[in-house]
Structure formats: structure tokens, C-alpha cells
Structure 1
Amino acid sequence: MTDPTRDYDSHDEAPAPEMFQYKLDDDADGTEVEDLGNYVPGGYHPVALGDVLGDSGRFRVVHKLGFGGYATVWLCHDNESKKWRTVKVMAAHASTPDCADLRALELFSGTSLDLLAANRVQLALEHFWVDGPNGRHLCFVLPFLGPGLSTVYHLYGHVPELMKDICFQLVEALEFIHSRGLCHGDFRPDNILFRLADGVDEWDEEEIMKLLGQPDLARVERVDGTEADMEPGVPTYLVERSHIEYGSGACSSEIAVIDYGVSYRASEPPVGKGTGITLPYAAPEALFSLDNDLGFHSDVWSLGVTIAKVRCGLTPFADERYDTMLEGLEKMESILGPLPEPYRSIWKGWDGVFVNCQDENGGLRQDDDSWKDESVPATVCTESEESTRQARVMEGRHPNHLQLGLIMHIDDEEAADIAAQAASNPGRLPAYKYGQEAHRLSYEQQVRYTMTDAEIKQLFDFFLAIFTWHPEERPTLNQIAGHEWFGDRHRRRQLAAAAPASPPPLKAVNTKRARSPSPLRPGKKSRVEIGKSGEEVRGSGIVKNVWASWSLYRGRIGLGLRKGAGCITRFFSWAMGKITRIISGTISTMGGFFRGDV
């Protein structure tokens, strides 16, 4: 949320017609569809099921995946690759050659798709243009992806390690984006999706429809009820967005950060425009339109709120639908303390009334500078409001809210099955189906999950480090990754990055006739070799060679293979393959010797 008085560039909003002549029919109430009023010149491109997009009709439209203020998003079958693709059709007013999405593509040009995916970043695979009755539209082609992260807590919140893995991926993704000098600008759960499992993008259409459900249509009609022909820029129906269930069995646990439509270089903050990020995820500098202060640290704030939403199922400072900026600031003050400068002066100019500006009768003091006292909250007007506010804080919304626990519409057996799947197959979101209506279980049967006191303590230490009024006081992403709440994930990542991709090759074993005394004969000196570490490596034959290779293989550390019985067990498992290949080579050479080839 930003200052409503701010002037925006003309391409930020679609032109509004004087009077829109169309509406959805009465049966469409409650459907999840885009704003019909955006189908005007400069707005959305009308797309119907079965349409083809791109050169030579390459992309056939099959279903609606989503929509936003700037675009509609469609599931299409690519007749060239024979895969399912996401096609995002931008509104005409947002389709410019220098738009942020294209600038992000340019910034990451030369970066392989594999490297982007490994760092949880998903950019458009390609783009093209479509001319239509409402203007010229830029279209982005992306892989077919899964659901967003907004409600993942409600099914998997009782599996803390899975939740932490997902949240750690968020840190990794943002760290990689920032490493290229780019700020995302709108980092929140709706712009972070789960990838689908391998092969889903090649399913046949029948399987896809089972996954998404058949399209639901909302008919469009004229306001005056006449049967006159529709204008070419208005569709005859809208398609309700589809949903992929977390527990469908089709979702990977890997995430992909999408939507770079308001991204910007850290060296070039969007002065005079802001990013338009929604109230719950906006840092104080974004709320108060201090665009020069926007940067990496603004994304860090949004990351903190996103992690709170994913792990705790809540946004700490504002509800996503109902809260106002005043209510958001009130919650911020209840956690972070009174509003400081420079925000305080801006808020005074917008709203103007502080508790310490009141006289004894509750009237506004004239020419009084007491509002500058930063020890007093800025979001209350009277002493009575202050006492009411303190009572709400004492109710303990933070952290007592987490101690109330999560009521899950599953029973103990189902909860245990989900946890077991997460442990046995961490690369896939656990499969689960409600079977009947969610209320099929009695209150007593439903699982109540509550975080441990230890995790609650760690989480609030984590959040209080991130949520600070002043951007420069927020931690770096590397510091966030190393926080104790993430356990040893950061250390494991560092070790994996330092370890070689594969163990070094073994030296060939000398299988020719020995021209020197055997090291195993009595009275003869055993051969001694010196490893890289300077240690003597004694012995001979297969075991010596394999052990020498193993002890020089730094990758064993990255695999968590150190001292102890576990190390020995893993060493022999690893070594068997090496030994088998060496023996095969030895037998082959011996055969050649007896044939006279050697």
C-alpha cells in the first residue's frame, strides 16, 4: 500500500471506460474470475478455450491457471515441444518493450536454465506478441507449475522439517536474485509456486483434466439484457481459475519464484512509482513511499513476512483482505515499538493526530510539538485508545497466537502418514486426499498441532531480527540462512558447494608380472606411498588403492561421512563399486596375459 495521492505513469493502470456495458450473469456469483471491467482498450486480451496463441498456432489454450491486475494466465499445450506450458498474456497497457519482466530476462541472459532452477528462480522460457482488439499484448511462456505457498501451512504445518526446508529455499532464491543486483519488489507467497513432479508436463489431456478439474465458465451478458452482438474486445464468458491441490501427488517440494513485473535494479530504485506490493508484505519504507530507500532490505522484510505465512499461517502486521494501513501500523508498533522518524513526520502529515497531542479534555493542542516524542505510539489518538491497545497486546497475539495451535481437518493416522511420506520422499509434497467433506471429523478427532516452545522462541528471535523500522538494521540473507532456526542447513549447503561433484579417479592397478619383491613376502619391505596429506598409505592391491582414493575424496565430508561406524559402513558401500570395476579390469588383463597378449 502506498500514498493514494501519488501520481502514476499512464501505463500503470488501464484506462477506465465511462460506463461499462457488460456484466456476469447471476449464476456467476462467487466465482474466481478476473475483473470483467478490464476488458477494454489497453486492458486484457480476450482469450477463449480452444484458442491458439503464438506463431503458427503453437499454443492451444486448455484451461485458466490464474489472473492478476496486469495479466491473465493460461494452461496451453505446446504443439512443438509436446509439453504443457503456462502462457501469461499481459494487459496491453503493461506490454512495453522495456517492462520489468524483459529487463529481468536481459539481466539473467547467459544463465543456464538448470542454474536458475537450482536456485529456485523461474523466468520466462520465451516470449511473443499478440495483436488483439484491446491492443498489443506481450505474452510470456513458462513451464507448467504448481500451486502457490499461501495455504501450505494448513496441510503440512505439523511437519516442521518440511516447512523449514521450504523456507530455506525462499532464502536461497532471494539470495541468488540479489546476487545479480536485482530486487524482486513483490516477494510474497502468491508469487512463489511449487514445481510439479517430473513428467507431469507430458501427461495426456485427460490426466491433466483430472488434476485441474473441468473448466467452470461464467457467462457474460449486456447490462441492458439485450441480445446484441458483443464488442470484439469483450469475451462471451470468463473461465474460473483452476487449482492444483498440494496433496495431489503431482507436486514437487521444490519452489520457483516467479513474476518479476515490478523488479528493479538495486542501483535504480523505482522513484516516484514504488512497487505496489500489498500491505501485509510491504516494508515501512514501501508503506511510506520512501522510494529512494527501497532495495535489498525491502525484499528481506517481505521474505520475513512470507516465512511467517508459510510456517505459521499468518501475516504479522496486516490481514491480506481487511486491514487498513492504520491497522497495519498499529500492529507494527505493538511489536517494533513506537514509529520513528522519518516515518513519524510523514504519518503526522497524512493523519495528524497522536496521543500526546491531546489536551486533558481530549481536544487537539495547537502548535504543539509533543507529537515528535518517539517514545509514544503514533497510531492512537486518545489515552483510552492507548489503554485498549495495550490490552490487546497483553492478550498476546504474538507469540501466544502460535501457542493456540493449528486445528487440522485430519486425524492422527492421516497426520502420521503425511509426516512419514515427507521423511521418506523429501523431494515430493506428501499425497493426501480429504475423501469426504472437511467437516467429516468431529472436533475431538481433528489433530491440533502446536509448535514446541523451543521453535516458537527461535522463530520470534528470527522475526525480530528481520522486522526493524530502519532498513540498514536488517540482517543480510547470509546471516538469515545461518540462523539457528534453520538448523544445519546453511552449513550443509556450504559443504556441498565446497565438495567436488564426484570422487577422483583411481590410479590403475598394476596387473602385470611383478618385477619387484612382493610386499607380502616374509622379510621383504612393504611399499609405502605418501598421500596428499603427507600421511603414509600402507598396504597393497585393491583395498589399498580404494582406501587411498577414499581418504583423499573431500566429497565424503559434504555427504556427512566422517569418523565412526557410519563412516566405515558408507565407505564399504561406496567402495564396492570401485572394487568390482578393478577386479573386472584385473581379470581381463590376466586373460590377455595367458593368451600371450601381454
Structure 2
Amino acid sequence: MEKDKMELDAKAHVMASDPMSQEQSQAPPPATPPPTKDGSPSSIAVPNDPSSKDPQEDHLKMEGEAQEDVDDAKSDSSNAQYFDIHDDGIASPIEALNNYSPGGFHPVHLGDILGPLSDPSRFRVLHKLGHGGFGTVWLCRDTKDGKPKALKILSGHSSKNAAKECPDLKALQLLTGSVSHEEGLSCSQAAQTHKTAQDLLRNHHIALPSEHFWLPYRPNGSHLCLITPFLGPSLEGFATAYGHVTDLVKHVCFQLVEAMHFMHQKGLCHGDFRPANILLCLKEDVDKMSDEELVEALGGVEVAKLTRTPGGNTPTEGDNQEEKEWPKEFPRYFVGQADMTNLIRGGWCSPSVAVIDFGVSYPVNEPPSKGSGIPLGYAPPEEVIMGKDKHDKEETLIRLGPKSDIWSLGVTISELALDYLLLAESSHDKWDGVTNMEMFMGPIPEPFRSTVRARYKETWGDNGTILQDVDMVIDPKTGETVLSPLSFSIKWWRQRRKYTKEETGYEDPICSRMAIGLRTLHTTRSGADSEAQWAKDKTRLPAYTWEQPQEKEEVELDDDRLIKKFDDIEVFSDLLTSIFKWLPEDRASTADILAHPWFEGRYASKQIWTPGGLVSRLSQGTFSIVKLITGFPHKVGKFFFAAFSRLFGVFANPLWFLHGGRARIARLRDLESQ
């Protein structure tokens, strides 16, 4: 259901429109200047050594007035007994008050101006986009280029850990190593390096910080701030809204495979790949929106006022004593989280996506032995079924790696298409997931089998299923000796598959589930409308709304929700079956997935016809004739061909000149410069 818009009282309106009146120590927010011509950044996101001290300031050393501010904040907070939160009926999520303490969140108000020491008023706060254990995320106006940006402000504790090694910056350095910041670059070179790195990530559907800076010596510590592109809502619930538009689903899923393929080629594993960490991109028109238009597009602003009650005495409005002693580590009010889905309803979202949140990412050759911590519903067997180390703590039985990511990719694709977690009925009980995995993939092999068997015996003892002590059984259908499941009998498994075939026409669990169809929140009419919108304009997502139908005919259709029937059941099942394998080495690679028939027509169009490849193929035709005539041995011919292609290239091919050599040479140079 769509959130009701809140009518704030006069006091709340004043607070939202002029929050700086309560913070006299800061200057009023500056007007937004026009975008700069060169648009060059003031800093490059990736330092040579991410673990080294920030070049702008020593953020860990507090002294003088800065240290006094922190001490004053601690002293003030000791006088406060409790706070009242006057939310005025706020419906948006807000963070917990206890997040604001030394080492916690940085207090932020609407209209605050933030930035690096070199440009402290660069970013103006417009709205809150979210919060979590890491800190808060705010929508800001970048006064340097005039564009909206997302500003992630890490908590004091998170920033202290990030000072040693920030996963986002480490991922950025790994993914853009060939175009990352190098010492000795001029200002224009640094700007071009920055632009090239961000273009590279955007072209591969990845969003990472474009810049970073520190807010040192604040009430709750020093805070690392990461600047990222302003993006739309996540893909959670995507299938409910768009699962019936098959071409759109494939379009989005193909981008995800491309993103993962790029990451793995660069030697990086995401570790937490799921719809919550994949955001829709916004149309370029959003960059031109005013502050008021942006806030309105996000559903407006809701605030929850804080009232301090020290010593058991309730202060009155305008109490000077309260103003004087307000603890510096607390904000004056909470800002409700922006309604990101409103961007879809307003037609501001594009069908492009961006993978975010590299907080648990890791290099391929440095996998975490304790697991990445991905939710169970998206976790591969090697992270669900773990062994014990010598200290009786969990550790992986099989090293995590790219194929672990691919498992999570498969779950994500299935959720975007089918609107449910394919292998996990519960996101809390891992053993329910193991039973489903056996149902889909067959009996558990080693090294997982011994661990699961020990778990069953530990849980049920001698009263457990007899299968926990059995390895090989006779298949009642074929009469062959096969590995036995641990969760159920072969006989029961066969009976279940027989039943599903009678009900749906398919034995395979994936096919049988797809045969039931996808039940969406669209009516037949609205579903057809969104399909028609996508067919007409593939540069934006089809519009949809959760509002109840108003017209009489729509009300009559309200109970007749659209049931999406799949027409490529076997093909999609084959794709998922190639991914969902017990052992990582048996799973498909990203290259295999890109070329799978379910993505037919998409992979071929993405092939890059490089200038080098073009010259090589054209030269090869000429040289093949030469080699045929002269009869060079294979090795000599191979060497001569390589030298021939490099030295003579374009000019060695007579066909080249027949088709306008100069024009093609110019085109090749243009391609090489891109």
C-alpha cells in the first residue's frame, strides 16, 4: 500500500524548512551555484594505500578545541535522563536514538552543509535516503557540478575500521586498477582518470564511491563520508510489479550477469549479491530537477522532533536552558526515510541497474574462512553447511569464491522472475534450506554430508530418521544403487515428483513451480498496459501504482489478479539447474550464463568488435592466401602472421583500400580512443 502523506504541524514545517535556526554555530546553506564547466572532482576516491592516513587531515588525532567539543558532548549527555520523540504521526522508518553516542552516527539536519576541508560547503543535505548499522545515507546537492548525490556517512566505529581498510574503496581499486589514481597526475589528468573509472563501472552496472572525505573531530568521532551516484529503489519486490513483463525481466537479469562477469574478471567477489543490494538507475532528467522537485519526487519530508527532559523537569518551548545544554551528539530531530518507490510512480527510473554495497566483498584469492554473512536464502551450500575449526568456531568446508557468487546470482534471477526464494522456506533456519536443496539437487555429497549427518544425530539422537546412517540405497524406479538423501527417502521423493507431474505436467521442481504461474498485484488490464508501455519505450520502467482501483470495471477486476503463465519453462529451468549444484566446480560460469538460450539475442549484440580484431581478421584473409602459396610450416606461419598483422595491419590488406581506407582508419582511431 502507498504511504499516506503526512500533514506536519506549523512547528514541524518551520523545523524542516529552516533546521539551521537551531544550529547557530553553522552558517546558512549557500545557494546552489551553476555547474562547473570541467566538472572535475576535488579528490580521487582511491588513494595509493587505502589503509594509510588520509592526506587531508589526521582524523584519529583529537586535540585543542576539537577535543573540548567531544568532552563537552559527553558531559552534556550525562545530564540527560531521557528524550521524548514527538513523531507527529510519522510513517517513515527512523533510526534508534541510541545510535547517537560517541562512536555512533553523526547528527545531521536538513540544510546542513558538509564537505572536505578543501571545500567544506560543497554538499547541502536535502533528504534522508536510509540508515543501517554502518551509518546513514543522505541525498545531497553537489554545489560543484549541481547534481544530486548520495552521501554515506559512516558511524565513528565504522569509520575507524574503514581507516585501516574500507571494503568499498578496496573494491574500487581492484575493479578500476588500470585507471585508478596514480601519484604525479596533473589536475586535468586526475579529472580524466576519475571520469574514466566511473564510466567503466557504470558501463558494467556497478556503483561505487566516486569520492570520499573525512568529517574530523565531530561530537561522535571522525566520520568517513563516501560520495556515490544518486540511484533509485532496490529490486526487492521487482517481480510483483514487473514479473509478467518477460522481456524486461531478462533485460535486468542480463545486466546482473554482466556485472558479475566483470567483477570476477577483475578478481573480486561481491559476497552479498541479492536484490536488496541492486538499485535501479535514474533517468538523466533527475540531474536537472530542483531541490523542491527532488524532495517532492521522494514523497516529501517527515520529521520526528526530539525533546530533552533533564532532571525530570519537562522543559517548555523555547527554553533557553534546554537550548544551551542540548547534547551535541544528538540531532534536534529525526528525518523520515525517503519513499524511493515514488520515483517509479513518477516515471523517473530507467531499466538500468547498479550493483551496490561491497561491504563484505573480497578478492578471489582471499576468501573469508568464516563466511561472508549473506542471508541464508541467498547463501550457497558452502556457506550454509559449515564445519568447525580447532577453536570450535564455524568455518567453511569449501573455500568461497566466484562460484559462491554465482549461486547467489541464480537465487536473485529466480526471485526476480518467480517472486519467491527458490530454495529457502525460511531465512532463519538453515536446515530447512538443506532439505529444499536435496529436493532440487539430489542427495547431499561430501564434504557436506558428514556435517549434516552429525547435525542430525546431535539434534535427534537415536530417534532421528533411519536415513541418517545410510549412504547407498536401491532406487525403486531403476533398481540401481544410488546415494541416499538424508532428509527423506528415495521412495517419498519419487512419489512427490509423480504427484507434481500429475498436478502441473512436470516432475522437475522448478518447472512444476513455474507451471503454476506468477501471481502479481496487477489486474489483467493494468498488466497489459505495463507490457505495452515497455514495448513502446524501453528507456524507462513502465508506470505502476499500488493505489486501489477507482473505476467500477477496475473494482470488478480487483479480485481477478493477473496470473503470469511462463512460455519458456524448460529453458529457464535448464539455466537454474546449471547454477544450483552442490559443489562449486559443477556450477555454470558467468560466461556460460551469458551465452545461455534464456538470454538469446542479448549476448551476441554485446560482443565488442575491437579495432585490433577487425584489422587482424582483415589481414588474416590476405595472409591466408600468402601462406597457402608459400606453404610455410605452422609455427613459422603463426609467427609471421603475428608480425605481419602488427607491422602492416590495415595497409597490408588490399580489400581495405577498396572500401575507403582513410575513412575506416579514422573510425578505428576513434574507437581506440574511447
Deviations 1:411-466 (A, max 9, x none): 4443333222222322221234456569963346745232334x121111111110
Taking structure 1 as reference, are residues 337 and 77 closer, same or farther at Cα in structure 2, changes over 3 Å only?
A: same
1:297 Cα deviation from its structure 2 partner = 0.8
Once residues 333 and 191 of structure 1 are traced to their aligned partners in structure 2, the CA distance between those partners, rounded to angstroms, is: 28
In the TM superposition, what are the counterparts of 1:198-217 in structure 2 within 5 Å? 198-217=284-303
8 Å Cα contact 2:126/2:295 also seen in 1: no
Q: 1:52 aligns with which of 110, 113, 118?
A: 113
Q: Does 1:125 align with 2:239?
A: no
AA aligned opposite 2:457: G
* Cα displacement (A) at 1:302: 0.9
| Partner of residue 428, structure 1 | 540
Structure 2 CA distance for partners of 1:188 and 1:409, relative to 1, 3 Å: closer
Q: Matches of residues 126-525 of structure 1 in structure 2 within 5 Å? A: 126-131=211-216, 132-220=218-306, 227=314, 231-245=327-341, 246-272=344-370, 274-287=371-384, 288=386, 289-290=395-396, 293-318=399-424, 323-350=428-455, 352-353=457-458, 358=462, 362=463, 370=469, 375-379=483-487, 394=500, 398-433=510-545, 436=548, 441-443=555-557, 446-453=560-567, 455-494=568-607
Name the CA distance, whole Å, in 2 between partners of 1:34 and 1:48.
14
Separation in 2, partners of 1:152, 1:194: 10
| Number of equivalent positions | 488
Amino acid at match of 1:344: R
Go from structure 1 to structure 2 and tell me whether the alpha carbon gap of 1:488 and 1:237 turns closer, same or farther (over 3 Å shift). Answer: same
Q: 1:378 and 1:234 mapped to 2: Cα distance?
A: 54
Structure-2 change in CA distance of 1:52 and 1:265 (3 Å)? same
Say whether the 8 Å CA contact 1:28–1:219 is kept in structure 2: no
Q: Which amino acid aligns with 1:215?
A: V
**Sequence identity, in percent?**
37
1:451-482 Cα offsets, whole Å, 9 max, x none, are: 334x1211111111101111111111000111
Superposed CA deviations along residues 192-241 of structure 1, whole A, max 9, x for unmatched, are 11111013123102211221011222445679986476643333433222
SS in 2 for 1:148: coil
Q: CA deviation at 1:127?
A: 0.5
The residue type paired with residue 241 of structure 2 is: L
Matched, 1:91 2:155: yes
1:67 aligns to 2:67 (yes or no): no
Distance 1:121 1:549 in 2: 35
Give the aligned residue type for 1:32.
P
Contact 2:523 2:557 in 1 (8 A): no
Point out where structure 1 has 5 or more consecutive residues left out of the alignment: 1-16, 502-529, 538-544, 555-598
**What secondary structure sits across from 2:256 in the alignment?**
helix
TM-superposed deviation, 1:282 = 1.1
Structure number with larger C-alpha Rg = 1
Letter of the aligned partner of 1:302 in structure 2? Answer: S
| One-letter code aligned to 1:259 | D
SS in 1 for 2:137: strand
The structure in which a higher percent of residues are helix is 2
CA distance in 2, matches of 1:444, 1:533: 68
Query: 1:59 is aligned with what amino acid?
Result: F
Contact 1:344/1:372 (8 A) holds in 2: no
SS in 1 for 2:573: helix
Distance in 1 (alpha carbons) for counterparts of 2:402 and 2:81:
41
What secondary structure is seen at the aligned counterpart in 1 of 2:232? strand
Question: Could you tell me whether the CA contact under 8 Å between 1:354 and 1:379 is conserved in 2?
Answer: no
TM-score (normalised: structure 1) = 0.71
Instruction: State the alpha-carbon separation in 2 of the partners of residues 116 and 480 from structure 1.
Output: 21
Task: Tell whether the 8 Å contact from 2:514 to 2:566 is kept in structure 1 after alignment.
Answer: no
C-alpha distance in 2 between matches for 1:549 and 1:80: 40
Instruction: Return closer, same or farther for 1:53/1:548 CA change in 2, 3 Å cut-off.
Output: closer
Between stretches 342-351 and 310-319, larger displacement belongs to 342-351
Aligned residue type for 1:254: S
Q: Give distance in 1, aligned partners of 2:511 and 2:81.
A: 48
Shift of 1:28: 6.3
Q: Secondary structure of 1:200's match? A: helix
Cα distance change, pair 418–220 in 1 and its aligned pair in 2 (3 A): same
Q: Distance in 1 between matches of 2:599 and 2:493?
A: 38
Distance 1:226 1:324 in 2: 48
Q: Which runs of 5+ in 2 are unaligned?
A: 1-76, 181-195, 316-321, 387-394, 473-481, 615-650, 669-674
Paired amino acid for 2:204:
N
Amino acid at match of 2:266: R
Residue 227 and residue 281 in structure 1: after superposition, are their counterparts in 2 closer, same or farther (change >3 A)?
farther
Distance 1:146 1:70 in 2: 20
* CA RMSD across the alignment: 4.0
Residue 190 to residue 443, structure 1, CA distance change in 2 (3 Å): same
CA contact (8 A) 1:153 1:311 kept: yes
Structure 1 residues 387 and 206, CA gap change in structure 2 (3 angstroms): same
Kept in 1: contact 2:439–2:493 (CA 8 A): no
Contact 1:354–1:371, Cα closer than 8 Å, also in 2? no
